């Protein structure tokens, strides 16, 4: 299921097919937006169309108000069409991460095994939901703190070289709820909520031991695009890397850069 302001997409297909489906959803949303723009003037037309009939009754001076009934009917039609337009109009534009994920998936199109599907989920329904509330705490002056964990992308792919790749993109949101506080003047004042956002990516690569050896030359805090590496392990043929970013919007080259960095830690066996 996906719409312009509510995107929840289950992924279980070839990368090219997934990218094509995402393009179709964007095209449908664009067409719906164009139709909505054309129809938004229809209620106004009904309103203005009813005015002359009302004026006819005033000019003729009859007490029956025959033409005014037509005016009332047109104005009722205006109200009905306006309500229908409100219900049918599209939401906000697709979130920036929608295009980011589409580009990442399309870039991986030739890296999967021919008979394998790309698996995962794209969830751009927003972080501030009860199901995504990780924990709560109490801050200074008894301010309530809510910590949300929103895994907005998860991908799993069996690659052409025999490696198994897992990718998770996560947004962490800290919300300090608004509250009344006593100011320096002694009066109670409302302090609005404060929000802090951060992004995280986690990559897990199960390495095909017949093809690769794992190198161990990673330094923490290494910058990759908008990410900074904050964790790296390589044990039992499995690489696990995590990186964090203070950016609110992640670009395709950020995710692809992290994936390339993980692969840079591999060396093909038999290479000189």
61 confidence band (pLDDT: 50, 70, 90): low
pLDDT band at 104 (very low <50, low <70, confident <90, very high): very high
- State pTM to two decimals: 0.76
Question: What pLDDT, on the 0 to 100 scale, is given for residue 55?
Answer: 75
Identify which of 174, 98, 104, 163 has the alpha carbon closest to the alpha carbon of residue 133.
Answer: 174
pLDDT value at residue 134: 94
The residue with greater pLDDT, 68 or 108, is: 108
Q: What is the pLDDT of residue 270?
A: 72
Q: For 156-178, what is each residue's pLDDT tens digit?
A: 999 999 999 999 999 999 998 87
Question: Which H helix or E strand runs over 261?
Answer: helix 252-264
CB 190 within 8 Å of CB 178: yes
Residues 107-156 have pLDDT tens digits of 999 999 988 999 999 999 999 999 999 999 987 777 899 999 999 999 99
- Mean pLDDT, the chain, integer: 85
User: H or E element: which one contains 158?
Assistant: strand 144-158
Could you tell me the two tokens for 48?
């203005």
Q: Which residue matches tokens 């179709």?
A: 24
Distance between CA 192 and CA 172 in Å, rounded? 20
At 3, the pLDDT band (50, 70, 90 cuts) reads: very low
Q: Is the pLDDT of residue 1 over 60?
A: no
| Mean pLDDT, residues 170-187 | 81
**6/251: higher pLDDT:** 251
| Mean pLDDT of the region 181-196 | 78
pLDDT of residue 2: 44
| The predicted structure's pLDDT at residue 142 | 79
Q: What is the pLDDT of residue 89?
A: 59
Of residues 53 and 1, which shows the higher confidence score? 53
Give dist(CA 147, CA 172) in Å, integer. 7
| pLDDT tens digits, one per residue of 218-271 | 788 899 999 999 999 999 999 999 999 999 899 999 999 999 999 999 999 876
Instruction: Give pLDDT, residue 91.
Output: 55
CA distances from 50 to 38, 41, 59, 102 (A): 20, 15, 15, 49
Token pair for residue 7?
């995107």
251 φ, ψ to 5°?
Answer: -95, 160
pLDDT at 90: 57
């Amino acid at each position: 299921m996906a719409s312009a302001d509510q995107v929840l997409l289950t992924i279980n297909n070839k990368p090219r097919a997934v990218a094509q489906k995402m393009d179709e959803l964007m095209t449908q949303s664009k067409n719906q937006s164009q139709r909505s723009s054309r129809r938004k003037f229809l209620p106004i037309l009904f309103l203005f169309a009813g005015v002359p009939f009302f004026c006819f009754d005033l000019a003729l001076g009859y007490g029956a108000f025959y033409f005014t009934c037509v005016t009332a009917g047109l104005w009722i039609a205006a109200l009905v069409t306006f309500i229908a337009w409100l219900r049918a109009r599209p939401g906000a534009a697709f979130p920036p991460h929608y295009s980011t994920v589409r580009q990442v998936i399309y870039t991986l199109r030739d890296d999967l095994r021919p008979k394998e599907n790309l698996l995962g989920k794209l969830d751009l329904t927003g972080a501030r939901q009860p199901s995504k509330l990780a924990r709560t705490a109490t801050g200074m002056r008894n301010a309530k703190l809510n910590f949300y964990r929103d895994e907005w992308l998860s991908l799993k792919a069996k690659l052409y070289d025999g490696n198994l790749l897992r990718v998770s993109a996560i947004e962490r949101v800290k919300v300090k709820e608004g509250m009344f506080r006593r100011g320096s003047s002694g009066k109670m004042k409302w302090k609005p909520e404060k929000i802090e956002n951060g992004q995280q990516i986690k990559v897990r690569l199960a390495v095909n031991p017949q093809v690769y050896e794992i190198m161990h030359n990673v330094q923490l805090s290494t910058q990759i695009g908008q990410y900074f590496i904050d964790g790296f392990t390589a044990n039992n043929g499995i690489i696990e890397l995590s990186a964090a970013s203070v950016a609110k919007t992640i670009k395709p080259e950020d995710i692809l850069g992290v994936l390339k960095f993980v692969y840079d830690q591999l060396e093909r066996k038999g290479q000189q």
